[in-house]
């Protein structure tokens, strides 16, 4: 594609390159630069892409997209915001694929993965058309599936995935939209058919600093969506609703403002049953994921589908055919007189919801194994410890993804929340050893919950991912 076409609708401050030159790709990592590619020098939180322009040029970059004149000789394009320009240029390069899809975005602290997976399942069941998926667990472009590196990929990679969806015949795309991606312009240039807000609780304050700023970041998705699908029971629902510039579809259990709601709710050990109500439409629904929060996730998914044009009654009926989601209240086969669950809960609110759900169906002790991620919001660590201590019968404190932090220092931040509660606990920093200890000390009718890793099959130590699948660890400990 010619450079002038790659730059379509981008506010260029200075063009020091031939607009007719051919651009074969765009990259934001100088190590991936190649002949014919345009290198986008993006300012990040750990480094500045402008420092790596020379390296990209050495690898054959045909041009540079930047915010200041390069120090080396290379055709360049100066823009005010190279991160935003990267997103728009990538959309142009891959043929503006979002314009050929009905794109549904889901944001919120908890529930994004479950809601996106349920939405995809309902859409494909009701319409017979393919729906692509982008999220924490995996990326699906139709019939192809890829591992996911980030909740929301960098804009260039996101546009490539959307482009593949179009090529593979998808008519819809549903994606998790993180607060980081909204602040960092990863979804810039995408007009969302529906933008869904699930809930807000403490997370990512290392990045956003305040809950108000965190909420403002989430509201950016509502700003750019044709229809806003909003949890009316969440305390910040009014803020989100105020950002809606198009249609609004509120869902909930308690709020009278909810047009889509759940009645006659039954919480079961293996799922939830309720009557889904939308206007005059009333449909009995069942979802095989336990917990009151699963009702909210189900309503959010149905709301997204309605906003995307699916018949409300068909969407409600399709819920009962949806399966569970990996790493979300996932039962691990163990053939013992106790139960093992794997869940992704990584916030105080998610832990609270999860443990209360387990408690409602447990026959014996509820034992929770958990840790906190390194290089993330430290203020939530004692809060997570407090939730586990107050709601479980026994706590096992271990590592999550320590990243560049000392695992024992992270644990030291957690323990003040546990101490003084009277709940017995043990500290075992090595996660594999902690899982072994938990299984070897499990009692009859216990429910052992391994939290924090969920779908992840790795552990990040330093900046390196090491293979760690808790399902494999459990099988090894149990001997098969």
Q: Residue 170: its pLDDT value, please?
A: 98
Residue by residue, DSSP assigns 17-64 as S-TTSB--EEESSGGG--TTEEEE--B-SS-BGGGGHHHHHHTT-SEE
Please report, in tens digits, the pLDDT of each residue of the chain (480 residues total). Answer: 999 999 999 999 999 999 999 999 999 999 999 999 999 999 977 789 999 999 999 999 999 999 999 999 999 999 999 999 999 999 999 999 999 999 999 999 888 999 999 999 999 999 999 999 999 888 999 989 988 777 889 999 999 999 999 999 999 999 999 888 898 999 999 999 999 999 987 555 555 568 788 888 889 999 999 999 999 999 999 999 999 999 999 999 999 999 999 999 998 867 899 999 999 999 999 998 888 889 999 999 999 999 999 999 999 999 999 977 888 888 888 889 999 999 999 989 889 989 998 888 788 999 999 999 999 989 999 999 999 999 999 999 999 999 999 999 999 999 999 999 999 999 999 999 999 999 999 999 999 999 999 989 999 999 999 999 999 999 999 986
199: tokens are 């809930």
DSSP state of 430: S
Widest distance between CA atoms in the chain: 73
Residues in CB range of 328: below 8 A, 6 or more apart: 113, 114, 289, 343, 344, 454, 455
Under 8 Å between Cβ of 121 and 110: no
Tokens 């669950």 locate to: 341
Ramachandran angles phi, psi of 63, nearest 5°: -160, 165
Gap between the Cα atoms of 177 and 225, Å rounded = 12
212: tokens are 């108000």
Report CA-CA distances (Å) from 333 to 190, 246, 345: 42, 46, 20
What residue segments make up the domains of the chain, in order of their start?
3-93, 97-321, 330-478
CATH fold for domain 3-93? 3.40.1390
> What sign results for the dihedral spanned by CA atoms 410, 412, 415, 417?
negative
Residues composing the chain = 480
Instruction: Let me know if the fold of 3-93 is the same as that of 97-321.
Output: no
Under 8 Å between Cβ of 211 and 349: no
Q: What is the CATH number of domain 97-321?
A: 3.40.1190.10
Q: Residue 209: its pLDDT value, please?
A: 64
CATH fold for domain 330-478? 3.90.190
Gap between the Cα atoms of 300 and 296, Å rounded = 6
Under 8 Å between Cβ of 45 and 30: no
Tokens 């002949």 locate to: 35
Which three-class secondary structure state does DSSP give residue 311?
Answer: coil
């Amino acid at each position: 594609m010619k450079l002038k076409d790659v730059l379509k609708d981008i506010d260029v401050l200075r063009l020091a390159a031939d607009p007719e030159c051919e651009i074969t790709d765009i990259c934001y990592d100088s190590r991936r630069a190649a002949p014919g590619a345009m290198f986008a020098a993006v300012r990040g939180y750990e480094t500045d892409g402008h420092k790596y322009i020379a390296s990209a040029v050495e690898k054959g970059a045909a041009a540079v997209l930047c915010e200041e004149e390069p120090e080396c000789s290379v055709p360049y394009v100066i823009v005010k915001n190279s991160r935003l320009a990267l997103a728009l240029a990538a959309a142009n390069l891959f043929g503006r694929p979002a314009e050929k899809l009905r794109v549904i975005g889901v944001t919120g602290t908890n529930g994004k993965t479950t809601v996106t997976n349920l939405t995809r399942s309902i859409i494909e069941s009701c319409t017979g058309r393919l729906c692509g998926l982008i999220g924490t667990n995996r990326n699906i472009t139709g019939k192809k599936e890829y591992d996911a590196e980030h909740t929301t990929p960098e804009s260039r990679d996101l546009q490539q995935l959307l482009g593949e969806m179009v090529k593979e015949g998808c008519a819809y795309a549903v994606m998790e939209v993180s607060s980081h991606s909204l602040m960092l312009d990863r979804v810039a240039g995408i007009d969302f058919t529906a933008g869904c807000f699930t809930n807000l609780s403490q997370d990512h304050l290392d990045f956003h600093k305040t809950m108000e700023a965190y909420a403002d970041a989430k509201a950016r998705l509502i700003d750019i969506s044709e229809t806003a699908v909003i949890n009316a029971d969440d305390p910040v629902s009014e803020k989100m609703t105020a950002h809606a510039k198009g249609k609004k579809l509120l869902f909930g259990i308690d709020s009278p403002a909810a047009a889509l709601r759940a009645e006659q709710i039954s919480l079961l050990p293996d799922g939830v049953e309720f009557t889904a109500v939308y206007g005059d439409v009333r449909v009995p629904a069942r979802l095989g994921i336990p917990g009151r929060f699963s009702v909210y996730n189900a309503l959010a998914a149905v709301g997204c589908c309605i906003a995307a044009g699916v018949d409300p009654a068909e969407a409600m009926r399709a819920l009962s055919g949806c399966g569970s989601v990996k790493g979300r209240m996932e039962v691990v086969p163990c053939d013992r007189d106790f139960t093992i669950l794997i869940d992704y809960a990584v916030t105080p609110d998610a832990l609270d919801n999860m443990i209360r759900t387990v408690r409602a169906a447990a026959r014996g002790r509820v034992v929770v194994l958990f840790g906190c991620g390194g290089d993330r919001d430290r203020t939530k660590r004692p809060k997570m410890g407090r939730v586990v201590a107050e709601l479980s019968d026994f706590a096992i404190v271990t590592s999550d993804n320590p990243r560049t932090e000392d695992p024992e220092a992270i644990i030291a931040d957690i323990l003040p929340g546990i101490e003084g509660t009277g709940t017995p606990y043990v500290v075992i920093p090595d996660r594999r050893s902690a899982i072994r200890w938990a299984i070897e000390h499990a009692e009859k009718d216990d429910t052992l919950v391994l939290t924090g890793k969920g779908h992840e099959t790795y552990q990040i130590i330093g900046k390196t991912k090491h293979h760690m699948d808790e399902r494999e660890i459990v099988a090894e400990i149990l001997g098969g």
